[in-house]
Structure 1
Amino acid sequence: MAEFIMLKNLAVLLLISFLGMQTAHAEEELPIYSGVGGNFSAVNQDGKTIEFNDFKGQPILLTFGYTNCADICPFTLGYLSRIYAGLTKDEQKKINVVFVTVDPEYDTPEHLKKFMAHFNSEFIGLSGTKPQIDNIVSLFQAKYKKLSAENMVPTKNIRQVTQKTLTDESNTQEDKSSLYSHTVTIYLIDKSGFTRSIEYTGTPQEEFVGKIRGLINE
């Protein structure tokens, strides 16, 4: 009788262990967000025309913003810098972090390159024509809106309140740049180009890094 009880308890423990493993596996497997994302063309911070499909084979972290954003964009890129730093050097080489501007008129490749370098020189900034940007925004079901003329502000004033002092020639000019409201989500895209997770800066670093590693190892 005692032997039977022991065997029964062992069977229960094995079942619990198996179910736990299955649950953990299910939690780690990310779904595919159908209809979110797709191929597009744009211009990178080096002035080179690229296709989104050029990034296939490596997971991508993609977000929208613009270089004259006073708070949200620097905060998001700072967060992504911390996520990136949480990966090993080898893992860092296996992903791409992409920042798509919603202000292509002001955000030339030159501006983007300087801006991205303040966070991580490995990050990729993308610009292009307004139709190109509108297409990318639409593909990812994102939104952006140029604010009214009353919100036009001197560029040099914005740059003084960003996360880091972004000193360049525009600090001495009175050129003006628009303000925008825009989607602030971070799209986690797999090696095949499918969106697998939509994150925010509130996602715990360890959790986000774990999802990235999962896609690297797929």
Structure 2
Amino acid sequence: MRRHPSCLLIPTYLPVAAGLLFFLIGGGSQAALFERNADNLQQEAAAAHAEGKQLAVVLTLPDCPGCLEMEKTVYRDRRTEKLIEGRFRTVRLDLSRSAPIIDTLGRATPVADFAKRLRAVATPSLVFFAGDGSFSYRYTGTLDQAGLRDLADYVVRAKFEEFPFAPRDAARGNLAARQDRALHASPPAGNLPLYPEFALAASDGRERRLADFRGQVVALSVGYTQCPDVCPTTLIELKAAVEGLPPTLRRQVQVLFATVDPDRDGLAMLKEYVAAFSPTSGRPVLGLRGSAEATARLISQLQLVAEKRPSGSAGYTVDHTAGVFLFDANGRLRGLAPFGQSVTALRSDLAHLLAERSGGPAVAPRLVRAN
């Protein structure tokens, strides 16, 4: 199969119609954040100005993971809602609409062209305007409740004239940024949900969600059992990394292997396959399998590559995202360890996330050779 040494979670370019875009311009109160649709931004800006607020417009699509997460966990947060409503008039625009909109300067334009003109081509993007509708600032990335509140304050105080916006973690503030920089793994792409949700059948006979493993550090690899090289190599390296931890810590790590080939990978086959990679004194590796629909949701949530290629000997192979998704004990996606990263680096990242869980310093355990 073709390897993906860069282990990108998403393509390097996403059309703007793939996700979420904010425009914070001149704002009015409403019952809930970003639930009212609008197609004339000039009128909305005028109404916001009359109310003494600024205007916040969110562009979204139903299948954007980051958009869905913010709709579910951020816009409905009462503290966040109260703060935003006090400063902004919030409306929604659907990026998939075919009819043109009226932009902030009163011009009829397609939504995608409006976004491209502002260079808001990645998702989620947050683009800011001055009171006269001129461009002021652009931010790209999924935010949690604290992040959106910080952004609102940043815009209202016009801090973009002094320094770029940098979100902080809701629970740990700037400490989280330092911790994430300490990881060898690449940070998650900005359009990925912070807490992905999926339900898949597991090789232990249960339906499993990521929430089932709260309190444990989770290392998730995706692939398929007939993968000739990348998948077994990744699982062997994960086994060695966990076995390099002190024995008392090994059972605090759960390794998961989710198939992107459910047509050929039944649960019995997955159970036999992953058993060979379970770390000594650690938790057994769990294989995960979903229906075609559930697998498609997993691929969409994590923005995976999963493409079938004809094969004379195997019928087909599957080109897929390589690497290991790392989740902390709170279930938050913290990074992707790229394929080919050393066992030492992978073990170090697991140890770092485990140290956060206990509140102690990051440990640097001696590498123990796998049996």
Q: TM-score higher than 0.5 here?
A: yes
1:204 — aligned with what? 342
Give RMSD over aligned pairs.
2.3
Contact 1:79–1:201 under 8 Å retained in 2: no
- Map of 1:79 onto structure 2: 237
Q: Residues 27 and 112 of structure 1: is their aligned pair in 2 closer, same or farther, counting only changes over 3 Å? A: same
For residue 191 of structure 1, give the secondary structure of its aligned residue in structure 2. coil
Query: Counterpart of 1:137?
Result: 299
1:153 has 2:313 as partner: yes
User: In the TM superposition, what are the counterparts of 1:55-134 in structure 2 within 5 Å?
Assistant: 55-120=213-278, 122-134=284-296
Q: Offset of 1:25 from its aligned partner? A: 6.6
**Residue 48 (structure 1) aligns with:** 206
What corresponds to 1:14 in structure 2? none
Q: Distance in 1 between matches of 2:181 and 2:329?
A: 20
**Aligned to 1:42, what secondary structure does the other structure show?**
strand
| Partner Cα distance (1:190, 1:26) in 2 | 11
User: Structure 1 residue 152: deviation in Å?
Assistant: 5.1
Change (3 A) 1:196 1:152: same
| Residue equivalent to 2:101 | none
Q: CA deviation at 1:47?
A: 3.0
Query: In 2, Cα distance between the equivalents of 1:137 and 1:152?
Result: 26
1:182 aligns with 2:320: yes
Shift of 1:31: 8.8
The aligned residue for residue 367 of structure 2 is none
Q: Which one has more relative contact order, counting CA pairs under 8 Å at least 6 apart?
A: 1
1:28: which partner in 2? Answer: 182
1:135 partner amino acid: R
What is the letter of the counterpart of residue 38 of structure 1? P
The verdict on how the C-alpha distance between 1:152 and 1:39 changes in structure 2, with shifts beyond 3 A counting, is farther
User: Of Structure 1 and Structure 2, which has the larger fraction of its residues in helix?
Assistant: 1
Aligned residues: 171
The TM-score normalised by the length of structure 2 is 0.43
Say which is worse superposed, 127-136 or 200-209, in terms of deviation.
200-209
> Which whole-Å CA distance do the structure 1 matches of 2:180 and 2:262 have between them?
41
Q: Which amino acid aligns with 2:233?
A: F
The answer to whether the Cα contact below 8 Å between 2:224 and 2:265 also exists between their aligned partners in 1 is yes
Of 121-130 and 196-205, more deviation after overlay is shown by 196-205
How far apart, in 2, do the equivalents of 1:135 and 1:81 lie? 27
1:147 to 1:84, Cα distance in 2 relative to 1, 3 A: same
Normalising to structure 1: TM-score of the pair? 0.71
Instruction: Determine if contact 1:152/1:179 at 8 Å carries over to the other structure.
Output: no
Unaligned runs of 5+ in 2: 1-177, 357-371
Partners of 1:93 and 1:125 in 2: how far apart? 17
Q: Tell me if the contact between 2:242 and 2:253 (Cα under 8 Å) persists in the aligned partners.
A: no
**1:39 alignment counterpart:** 197
Shift of 1:26: 7.5
Counterpart of 2:353 in structure 1 is 215
CA–CA distance in structure 2, aligned partners of residues 153 and 118 of structure 1: 24
Contact map agreement 1:46 1:110 (CA 8 A) in 2: no
SS of residue in 2 equivalent to 1:139: helix
